[in-house]
Structure 1
Amino acid sequence: MTIRERIEDVGDLPPVPAAILGIVVIALLAGVVWGLLWLPDHTKPRSPEARERARRREESQKRQRELRRRRGGVAARAGQGMTGTVRRLVLPALLMTALAGCGAPEPDTYQLGDHRIQVDAGEEFTLSVPVDTAMGEWWYVTSPGPDPDVVRGTGRREETEADDDAVGSGSGTDLFDFEAVGPGTTRISLIQCPRGACAGGGSAGGPVTPSPVPSGSPAPDGKYRATVHVYTVTVRQP
């Protein structure tokens, strides 16, 4: 029997069975639609911690978009009357703003020699330092830490590049992520620790500090001593 013949048989049913059959079909369709609407959304984070991280990430991205919009407006107004030196300063800023709008916002990265940093409240930024992993070198945030009302740390990452020509050798980069919380000026101290040059932290507790030199022992060479690098961060109100 073909589908057309089945449809014709249904059409020949008496009114009461046809009405019952129609109600059953409608109920089945309603059940399917209800099930689709109330299926759990697996794209949403379930745990409170995951939801909080997603919320903070969304707020940070909104602040970054708002800051880019304001900067673009200021740069456009300045471009109307710029000449000479002003043009050379503003055009790169306009280009960076246009490029930033083409993809996801990326935090500004500052290198080892950038000891004075200026950012707007709500922005994220990164301190990038080279690390000699083959020599057992490590970097840490040490005391005094930044004012939490001005800058707070959001994480630490490592990027390691092994040297295929020598076993156990390699170099890399340590990345310290921060967020500008509110206007003000504070300092971030990073300590560079060759192997055995630092104490504290970890299971010992407390801040990481240079290891004391035993009495009567000669001072180690500079490359084997811990070094503290201080960054002065000024956070502006956008």
Structure 2
Amino acid sequence: MIKRAIPSSKTARCLLVAACAALAFGVVLAFAGFFGPTEYETGERRITVAAGDEFTLKVPARPYMGEHWYLADPKPDADILDYRGTHEDIEGTDEDIAGGGDGTAYFDFTARAKGTTTVTLLHCPLASCGSVADTRATAVPVPTADATDRPGDQPAFYRYEITVR
């Protein structure tokens, strides 16, 4: 004869609560990418996203000071990331100064497939360069800023390692 243990009502309630908590935690994890951050700043250089996620690299912009950002070579692997373009949001513009005001530049991407690729942004402050080609034409090598570097007053490359899972 086989005896089966029947849990007490207290044990059954504990199991039910634990199961509900586990389910809720699973739902939170599943939607973390949906509700999680989609904008990453200059200090966030190692980024992991899911295939299909849209995200933005967000950098400070002061075009009135001649500061510009460019997507530089090597371009990210197009099989892993789709570059959707860039735009700026400038606040407190002064109508007397073309491009006046501080703001933010955004580089928009969509994660396409699993893999790892690099996105390189060139920071050109104080009209120090007008394009990626300008930096290649100079004799002075342009340094790569590390994750703790804030945009300074010399050109620098900002490299982001993007992993799509």
TM-score by length of 1: 0.47
The number of equivalent residue pairs is 135
Q: 1:137–1:199: structure 2 CA closer, same or farther, 3 Å change rule?
A: closer
Q: Select the structure of larger CA radius of gyration.
A: 1
Equivalent in the alignment of 1:5: none
Structure richer in strand, relative to its length:
2
Equivalent runs, 1:37-116 vs 2, <5 Å: 79-80=21-22, 94=28, 97=31, 108-116=38-46
| 4+ runs deviating over 6 angstroms | none
The runs of 5 or more residues in structure 1 that have no matched partner are 1-76, 83-89, 202-206, 215-221
Q: What are the Cα deviations for residues 47-67 of structure 1, in whole angstroms up to 9, with x where unaligned?
A: xxxxxxxxxxxxxxxxxxxxx
Equivalent in the alignment of 2:154: 225
TM-score by length of 2: 0.66
Equivalent in the alignment of 1:209: 135
The runs of 5 or more residues in structure 2 that have no matched partner are 1-18, 141-150
Equivalent in the alignment of 2:54: 124
| Structure with higher RCO (Cα < 8 A, 6+ apart) | 2
Equivalent in the alignment of 2:87: 157
Question: Do the aligned residues in 1 keep the contact of 2:80 with 2:114 (CA within 8 Å)?
Answer: yes
Question: Do the aligned residues in 1 keep the contact of 2:61 with 2:88 (CA within 8 Å)?
Answer: no
Tell me how far apart the structure 1 counterparts of residues 120 and 73 of structure 2 sit (CA, whole Å).
7
Q: 1:155–1:81: structure 2 CA closer, same or farther, 3 Å change rule?
A: closer
Tell me how far apart the structure 2 counterparts of residues 233 and 148 of structure 1 sit (CA, whole Å).
12
Question: Do the aligned residues in 1 keep the contact of 2:120 with 2:160 (CA within 8 Å)?
Answer: yes
Q: What are the Cα deviations for residues 93-121 of structure 1, in whole angstroms up to 9, with x where unaligned?
A: 839949x6xxxx89711111110100111
Tell me how far apart the structure 2 counterparts of residues 173 and 226 of structure 1 sit (CA, whole Å).
17
1:184 corresponds to 2:115: yes
**Residue type matched to 1:177 in 2?**
D
Q: 1:163–1:154: structure 2 CA closer, same or farther, 3 Å change rule?
A: closer
Q: Give the share of equivalent positions with the same residue, in percent.
A: 36
